[in-house]
Amino acid sequence: MKTLEAHRENFKALSERLYSSLHQSESMTLQLAFEDQDYLRFNQSKVRQITHVEQARLCMRFQSNGRRVVFSLDLSGDLHVDTRSLISLVARAKEEVRVLPEDPFLCPFENHGEHHEHHAGSLPPLAELLEAMGSYEAKRLDLAGLYAGGTLLRATSNSAGLHQSFSSDSFFLDYSLFTLNAAGDHKAVKGLYSGRAWSTPVFREKMAASESELPVLRAANKRLEPSRYRVFFSPKAVDALIGMFSWGGVSYSAYRQGESALQKLMAGEVRLSPQFRLEEDFGLSLIPRFNSLGEIAPASLPIIAHGDVKNLLISSRTAREYGVTGNQADTGEALRSPVMAPGDLSSSDILERLGTGLYVSNLHYLNWSDRLNARFTGMTRYACFWVEDGQIAAPIQDLRFDESLFTLFGSGLEAVTEGSEIIMATDTYHQRALGGTKVPGMLVDGVRFTL
């Protein structure tokens, strides 16, 4: 198995060989996504699959005379084999680019320097993981989920001389504890343990907290009528809500095309709560500051503060199209490292401040229902409870809500917790994802549930 430094050097050597084949009017950038990971899948507290994955995916962008083609392939790890494959793709790119229309907003590749960043971690031996999982089988608990842990590397270079890389050792354990309620319905508590340094005692503390919710889940569901309710959203639920800002919310391109969910906010027709402050903060060190062009974003960038938008995300392509100054956003102009500021609501006061209403631990199936009014829909999920007079009374039947960001983060926002959680990305489509958020919980009044 190659060391991380060996993969960086292999990528650099591959880049240099390809760039040497370019003519004066041609340019190229290469992006590498590499992972060296252990994956464990389990259910009913038994490990069902143990897989080690070591894979590298390369994306090549070739530009000539204002035109561009993009290819990607999986690397074998053999420099000579990969070089031959890519030289063949370069030849193909030179042919295909000739028949493409010119792109007036195509960004030239620039040299933004050379920088390498690594965040070392302490990951558990597989034997320790297996022992930890086995202890819950002995308790006869139905524990299901996925563990992923290892090293992730992202690197980019271009023919102008740029070379950037970001690597991190990290893990996540995305799990659920299942049980049956009084009616025989399956109910579950959802948990996430993630970070760079595994601790079995911390893992057991998290599991104990999840187990403590099971007795309440075994009670009969509380059926609620469609109405407006007071709601406390846990950090995991807030993480899902913040994600909506990346779907055509904070994109400058979407705003200029009249498709942003924040159009009314930008026009001054509405304001958000001064308690809601959102920024892009790469100090979390969960994802590289450089984008697909190798441009380095500001270490922090305020997005929303004092009820108004301070900055939208502007990629270099968008900057060229609309004649504005970019802020090194990536092509999709989505949040990459969002942080929502905490407030002053103590965790011990959450239920008392909620009074009577809903405690929502997780959300899913979020999507826009009326984007121009920032209205979206979604559903509650896992351990969500009905609270009466500051006490958890019963689990609820899953509910669908339809509400506006202007209510949740504006007129309806009553309080934000003083504590925040880092919610690490758990996507594993094609490869394990980088990134995450840091968010508090929040108390909102008047959330509209439709069924």
**In this structure, is residue 222 part of a structural domain?**
no
- Which are the contacts of 323, defined by CB distance < 8 A and separation ≥ 6? none
Same domain (yes/no): 251, 386: yes
pLDDT recorded at residue 5: 84
CA dihedral 266→267→273→274, nearest 10 degrees, is 70
Tokens at residue 296, please?
Answer: 């380095």
Same domain (yes/no): 326, 265: yes
pLDDT above 90 as % of the chain? 89
Tokens at residue 52, please?
Answer: 């080690």
Per residue in 230-257, pLDDT tens?
999 999 999 999 999 999 999 999 999 9
Same domain (yes/no): 254, 290: yes
Per residue in 153-198, pLDDT tens?
999 999 999 999 999 999 999 999 999 988 888 899 999 999 999 9
**In this structure, is residue 237 part of a structural domain?**
yes
Per residue in 431-446, pLDDT tens?
999 999 999 999 999 9
Q: Where a domain ends, among 217, 236, 255?
A: 217
**In this structure, is residue 133 part of a structural domain?**
yes
Same domain (yes/no): 74, 165: yes
- Assign 405 a pLDDT band (cuts: 50, 70, 90): very high
pLDDT at 2 over 70: no
**Mean pLDDT over the full length of the chain:** 94
pLDDT recorded at residue 139: 74
Same domain (yes/no): 417, 373: yes
DSSP letter, residue 291:
-
Q: ∠168-294-423 over CA atoms, to 5°?
A: 40
Same domain (yes/no): 166, 281: no
pLDDT recorded at residue 410: 97
- Assign 131 a pLDDT band (cuts: 50, 70, 90): confident
- Assign 308 a pLDDT band (cuts: 50, 70, 90): very high
What's the structural domain count of the chain?
A: 2
Contact (CB, 8 A) for 196 and 122: yes
Same domain (yes/no): 178, 250: no
Per residue in 52-63, pLDDT tens?
999 999 999 999
Least confident of 71-75, 134-138, 218-222: 134-138
What phi and psi, each to the nearest 5 degrees, are found at residue 201?
-60, -40
pLDDT recorded at residue 138: 61
Per residue in 265-276, pLDDT tens?
999 999 999 999
Residue 210 sits in a domain whose CATH number is 3.30.2290.10
Same domain (yes/no): 202, 254: no
Same domain (yes/no): 125, 261: no
**In this structure, is residue 277 part of a structural domain?**
yes
Same domain (yes/no): 241, 177: no
pLDDT at 363 over 90: yes
- Which are the contacts of 90, defined by CB distance < 8 A and separation ≥ 6? 18, 21, 22, 28, 60, 62
Tokens at residue 22, please?
Answer: 């370019």
pLDDT above 70 as % of the chain? 99
Q: Where a domain ends, among 198, 217, 236?
A: 217
Contact (CB, 8 A) for 210 and 191: yes
Same domain (yes/no): 278, 328: yes
**In this structure, is residue 132 part of a structural domain?**
yes
pLDDT recorded at residue 391: 96
pLDDT at 116 over 80: yes
**In this structure, is residue 267 part of a structural domain?**
yes
- Assign 330 a pLDDT band (cuts: 50, 70, 90): very high
Same domain (yes/no): 190, 247: no
- Which carries the bigger pLDDT value, residue 46 or residue 311? 311
Contact (CB, 8 A) for 289 and 156: no
Q: Where a domain ends, among 187, 217, 247?
A: 217
**In this structure, is residue 311 part of a structural domain?**
yes
pLDDT recorded at residue 71: 95
pLDDT recorded at residue 152: 97
Contact (CB, 8 A) for 98 and 83: no
**In this structure, is residue 166 part of a structural domain?**
yes
Helix (H, G, I), strand (E, B) or coil at 275: coil
Domain of 321, in residue numbers: 227-449
